[in-house]
Structure 1
Amino acid sequence: MYAAVGPITVHFPERVETNAELKAAFPHWDMDLIYEKTGIGSRHIAAKNECSSDLAYAAAQKLFREHDIDPASIDFVLLCTQTPDYPLPTTACLLQSRLGLRTNVGALDFNLGCSGFVYGLSLADGLIRAGSAKRVLLLTAETYSKYIHPEDRSLRTIFGDAAAATLVEAAERPTLTAFQFGTDGSGADTLLVARGGARPVEDAIKPRHRHRWGSDLYMDGPSLINFTVAAVPQLIENILTAAELGDKDIDLYLFHQATLKMLQQLRERMSFSEDRMPLALEHCGNTVSSTIPILIEQLRREKHLTIGMRSMLVGFGVGWSWAGCIWQESWKKA
């Protein structure tokens, strides 16, 4: 058996933070310039007592309800998050109980961020091909806002909180192929949270450059852009080679939605037209591991994805970590 991407549902926290609100709170912030660079006009922000498991739970419940999926049919839960509820226990285990899933299911957290959705698809694909599962519930959930200081202009204007639930199920023919991965841990100092783990803060990885803001989250945007513009074109070439395809065979390039500036640089570098590399970040921001499923859900809802269309999925960022694959749409809403 092979794996196919079934229905996807998205859940955002209720609170919406707009650029206008930030401008009112911080009149010295040039929100017009920030919008021009990020392409982000608003973000959803989790409440103080609202965590990744809450967002993932809501997304999964929506998936079950809207697509008439029996929770008892789920064989495995994969949760990608870099903001788990606790260092332990595993958040996926908490979700198994809260969702009322069988106790003979697998449940696994994995911490990858921006490349996480593609990694999750590869894990689900492997479980199904191995015969270990027929239906995998792939959850992505992030609450980066909890790492960001309110006065941090560089991060607060970019990251939003969200979760997505994706059903990956057995199919008769392959729809996910040519997975390719990349890792360069030397870039760990460009996007990190040094607190909260077992390593003492005084012995932790140091930010690559001066840590200008009070956030626990540190990001070196220019270094991340340089890494991305260098790594992603080679990744695309590797995927096409592995799939024995050419650029003309790809209908859409569905990239991690980092910022408009970064995506524009990639688009120019690869000479992609705007219609082949769609965006979905203006009203939700960079939601880390959830950006690609949010993009797919939007394209499906707007009927820009039809059965048989071939897309390339590409994730990249924190780690440094990058991953991509070829995906052929096969799901039709009942």
Structure 2
Amino acid sequence: MINSYIRAIEYYFPNNKEYNDPEDRMTKKIGIEVKNIASADEFASDLAVAAATKLFASSNVDPTEIDFIIYCTQSPDYYLPTTACLIQDRLGLSTTCGALDINLGCSGYVYGLSLAKGLIESGSAQNVLFLTSDTYSKYINPKDRSVKLLFGDAASATIISASKNPQNGQIGPFTFGTDGKGANNLIVYGGGLRERITSESSIEEEDEFGNIRSRSNLYMNGSEIFNFAMKQVPNAVNGLLKKTNETIEDFDYFVFHQANQYMLESLRRKMKIPNDKFSIEFSDCGNTVSSSIPIALIRDYKSGKIKNGDKVLLVGFGVGYSWGVGSVVLNMQ
């Protein structure tokens, strides 16, 4: 029987930093002090390539082993071709390597792990390079505090490999959910084929809270996103626990999408998760969208909060609305 497991994780931040005012009331609420921001000529695929290069250098994974790339982004280089194809070429990977993009945000890491597991355990791949990368900063109007204080740019690279020994670690099971009725609460209206960029796309408007944005900027209804998370995330976690006949106590650690301090602490308290088993890893990088879970996971692993053999619950949720819950048993190099 073929088993899949997380073999190694790395991440990459762009060099530019943007600081939130530590005395600002909102900064204290969200717990984000610093974000990393891509430069004008630096794009999500560049960050992803840097993360992959860093992973190959820091682990014993040889690029020739990779036979599939999954690239999760909402900041693609082009409408087409698929950015994963461009990354395959830039990394010099084999032309027998499969490659695809998935357009998901904060639930993307959980979804991508599930896809990698399916490819490996069906025998379609042996070593999947799973990349996440976003540059939300390029969508953000600097006069819109509702999103400017939150989002940072980043990329992650994960190797998921095949094994015939379950002791090497495990991925899954998973549960997923979608509610497209919430799409308008976190969206960039302008830029796709339904609403192409025109001269009107850059017209700025001010909302009731003094935030300024245009149709080509990122819009977020923070209160609605919070309400969604508080209702749906506990339901989603309970759905997986019911599916596997487990309880919160059966898990050694919990890595939720690293949205912000207020939201995560509210969820932790509501779900009665012990503080010392709950990841908080975003004060120096912000909300990094699909990269937030792997960044927190490897940071907590390297700091000793998680060790090999631990059973970790991963929870992604956000734009879409989209959510996914899955478990992993770690055995990283």
TM-score (normalised: structure 1):
0.92
Q: Where does the alignment leave 5 or more consecutive residues of structure 2 unmatched?
A: 198-206
How far apart are the structure 2 equivalents of 1:4 and 1:217?
35
Residue matched to 1:26: none
How far apart are the structure 1 equivalents of 2:39 and 2:301?
29
Alignment-mate amino acid for residue 178 of structure 1: P
In the alignment, does 2:102 pair up with 1:110?
yes
Q: Kindly indicate whether the alpha-carbon contact (under 8 Å) linking 1:243 and 1:326 is maintained by their aligned counterparts in 2.
A: no
1:8-60 CA deviation, whole Å, 9 max, x = no partner? 0110000111124xx8xxxxxxx521122111000000000000110000000
**Hey, which bits of structure 1, 4+ residues long, moved more than 4 A?**
209-212
Residue matched to 1:93: 85
| Greater Cα shift, 105-114 or 213-222 | 213-222
Q: Kindly indicate whether the alpha-carbon contact (under 8 Å) linking 1:177 and 1:243 is maintained by their aligned counterparts in 2.
A: no
Residue matched to 2:299: 298
In the alignment, does 2:212 pair up with 1:213?
yes
Q: Kindly indicate whether the alpha-carbon contact (under 8 Å) linking 1:257 and 1:281 is maintained by their aligned counterparts in 2.
A: yes
Residue matched to 2:204: none
Deviation at 1:245, TM superposition (A): 1.4
Q: Kindly indicate whether the alpha-carbon contact (under 8 Å) linking 2:174 and 2:325 is maintained by their aligned counterparts in 1.
A: yes
Percent of pairs with identical residues:
46
Aligned with 2:152 (options 156, 160, 163): 160
Deviation at 1:134, TM superposition (A): 0.5
Alignment-mate amino acid for residue 35 of structure 1: T
Aligned with 2:28 (options 11, 15, 36): 36
Aligned with 2:175 (options 141, 163, 180): 180
How far apart are the structure 2 equivalents of 1:252 and 1:283?
21
In the alignment, does 2:142 pair up with 1:150?
yes
The alignment partner of 1:265 has SS state of helix
Residue matched to 2:123: 131
Residue matched to 2:191: 196
Q: Kindly indicate whether the alpha-carbon contact (under 8 Å) linking 2:37 and 2:152 is maintained by their aligned counterparts in 1.
A: yes
Alignment-mate amino acid for residue 11 of structure 1: Y
The alignment partner of 1:113 has SS state of coil
Alignment-mate amino acid for residue 323 of structure 2: W
How far apart are the structure 1 equivalents of 2:230 and 2:63?
41
Instruction: Kindly tell me the number of residue pairs found equivalent between the two proteins.
Output: 317
> How do 1:238-253 residues align onto structure 2 when only pairs under 5 Å count?
238-253=239-254
TM-score (normalised: structure 2):
0.92
Q: Kindly indicate whether the alpha-carbon contact (under 8 Å) linking 2:48 and 2:133 is maintained by their aligned counterparts in 1.
A: yes
Alignment-mate amino acid for residue 100 of structure 2: L
How far apart are the structure 1 equivalents of 2:103 and 2:260?
21
How far apart are the structure 2 equivalents of 1:167 and 1:183?
27
How far apart are the structure 2 equivalents of 1:155 and 1:143?
13
